[in-house]
Amino acid sequence: WKPRPKSTIAAVEEPKQEEAKAESVEEVKEPPKQIIIRAHRLNPVYQGIKFLDYTEKEDRSELKELTGVDPVRIEWCAAFANAILEKSELPSNKDHKYPLVARSFLDWGEKVDTPEMGDIVVFPRGNQGWQGHVGFYVKEQTIDGVLYYYILGGNQKNSVRVDLYRADRALG
């Protein structure tokens, strides 16, 4: 699940310099027109990796400030995902009816067939149908014929980590 921000393409022209009134007959060449392409550079993985190895006990106050929840008392993977999306200048899922539930991200963004770095991936977790885990896709790897995703997320073994998850377990 991923928001698909549109790249902004803008043409910028250099200001024309006044031609010098010289007696010599020289042609003044105009500088070439510059085209600037701006793509979204704040990939969530790049924003989230800044918090790599933060643990909910040792870095409790920093994570609480980032996510808005106490990581020792609340399951915080969805709160971490929302915070990183906002740091990436992307719309978060905070306005959802259940913003702290990982599976609420199944209602967010646009479903894609092949994930790219920074995409949201939701996995089942626990025994209840509403439980889950959410994180950011980093890359994939096949191990013994099984496809795995590297996922950057919060509350992965009580810290911010990159862990392997079976791709066939992804809900979206």
Q: What is the pLDDT of residues 47-76, one digit of tens each?
A: 999 999 999 999 999 999 999 999 999 999
Phi, psi of 118 (to 5 degrees): 100, -10
Taking only the tens place, the pLDDT of each residue in 75-128 is 999 999 999 999 999 999 898 999 899 999 999 988 888 999 999 999 998 777
Phi and psi of 79, rounded to 5°? -65, -40
State residue 27's pLDDT score. 67
Is the model's pLDDT at 148 over the cut of 70?
Answer: yes
Residue at token pair 């800044």: 50
3-class DSSP state of 171: coil
